């Protein structure tokens, strides 16, 4: 319920996760201007929502596409650790500074020089994590075929229409009944809305609670009812 989600989100106010991230990025020049004076509120609302959902839903298997620095992955892993159960499977096509963004959606984010996808996640938090390197539609299917369904699927890789659709389709097929589909950057193409209409699924679209996006929905959460 709403009260439970708020309670779980409130766990992040203890500052432990923020201090961990501060320590991880302290010696990385690309993060030199990052400041976390407002604690967890300096991170995207999207990540706070995902953390609270994981704590509430207690998924056995969470699958995400897109790792980059590993910030969202770390929020998920923190929630799984507090749950005492669950596994995170992540797929990522690396964006190295030498070669530029792997995505072809106009986003320009790349890894810091000399770093690998998920570098923010310390080894102490990686016990429940299975990162896969490569295109999601190539590296995920063999893994998903070995599982008896998944509980949560989150798209946050390349946001072109075709890639979004392909990943949503891949995740939807693997979700158990009652499973949750999360899609970030739904404002970058009509893929999510077309997919939701095609599947007839219930969903809620949310704003990032950021002044730059006050008039724009940014991510969505859908339920697989059948």
Which of 31-35, 68-72, 105-109 has the highest average model confidence (pLDDT)? 68-72
* DSSP letter assigned to residue 18: H
Query: Residue 196 is inside which H or E element, if any?
Result: helix 191-199
C-alpha gyration radius of the chain: 17
Please give the pLDDT value at position 4. Answer: 86
Nearest alpha carbon to residue 92 among 41, 167, 146: 167
Please give the pLDDT value at position 32. Answer: 82
Contact 113, 97 (CB under 8 A): yes
Please give the pLDDT value at position 152. Answer: 99
**Matching residue, tokens 């939701």:** 196
Higher pLDDT, 44 or 144: 144
Q: Which residues pair with 87 in a beta bridge?
A: 61
Mean per-residue pLDDT, 43-47: 85
Please give the pLDDT value at position 104. Answer: 86
Vertex 119: Cα angle to 183 and 154 (nearest 5): 15
pTM over 0.85: yes
* Tokens encoding 223: 């339920």
- Model confidence at 1: pLDDT above 60: no
Give percent of the chain above pLDDT 90: 78
**Matching residue, tokens 């499973």:** 179
| CA–CA dist 119, 25 (Å, integer) | 9
Q: Which CATH architecture has domain 2-223?
A: 3-Layer(aba) Sandwich (3.40)
Residue environment code for 160-178, b if the CB has 16+ CB neighbours within 10 A, otherwise e: beebbbbbbebbbebbbee
Q: What is the pLDDT of residues 123-166, one digit of tens each?
A: 999 999 999 999 999 999 999 999 999 999 999 999 999 999 99
- Model confidence at 209: pLDDT above 80: no
Vertex 106: Cα angle to 35 and 17 (nearest 5): 30
Strand order in the sheet with 61-65: 129-133, 87-92, 61-65, 150-155, 175-184, 219-223, 202-206
Phi-psi region of 8 (alpha: psi -120 to 50; beta: other; left: phi over 0): alpha
Domain coordinates of the chain in residue numbers? 2-223
Please give the pLDDT value at position 5. Answer: 87
In 93-186, at which residue ranges do the beta strands (DSSP E only) sit? Answer: 129-133, 150-155, 175-184
Residues whose CB falls within 8 Å of the CB of residue 194, separated by 6 or more in sequence, listed in order? 165
């Amino acid at each position: 319920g709403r009260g439970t989600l708020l309670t779980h989100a409130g766990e992040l106010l203890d500052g432990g996760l923020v201090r961990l991230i501060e320590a991880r990025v302290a010696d990385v020049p690309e993060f030199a201007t990052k400041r976390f004076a407002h604690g967890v509120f300096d991170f995207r609302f999207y990540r706070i929502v995902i953390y609270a959902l994981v704590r509430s839903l207690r998924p056995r298997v969470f699958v995400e596409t897109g790792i980059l620095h590993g910030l969202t992955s770390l929020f998920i892993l923190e929630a799984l650790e507090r749950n005492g159960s669950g596994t995170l499977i992540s797929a990522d096509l690396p964006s190295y500074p030498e070669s530029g963004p792997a995505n072809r959606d106009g986003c320009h984010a790349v890894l810091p020089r000399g770093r690998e996808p998920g570098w923010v996640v310390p080894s102490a938090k990686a016990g429940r994590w299975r990162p896969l390197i490569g295109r999601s539609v190539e590296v995920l299917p063999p893994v998903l075929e070995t599982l008896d369904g998944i509980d949560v699927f989150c798209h946050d890789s390349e946001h072109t229409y075709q890639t979004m659709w392909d990943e949503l389709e891949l995740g939807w097929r693997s979700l158990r009944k009652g499973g949750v589909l999360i899609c970030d950057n739904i404002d970058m193409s009509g893929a999510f809305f077309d997919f939701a209409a095609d599947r007839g699924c219930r969903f809620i679209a949310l704003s990032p609670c950021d002044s730059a996006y006050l008039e724009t929905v940014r991510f969505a959460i859908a339920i697989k009812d059948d």
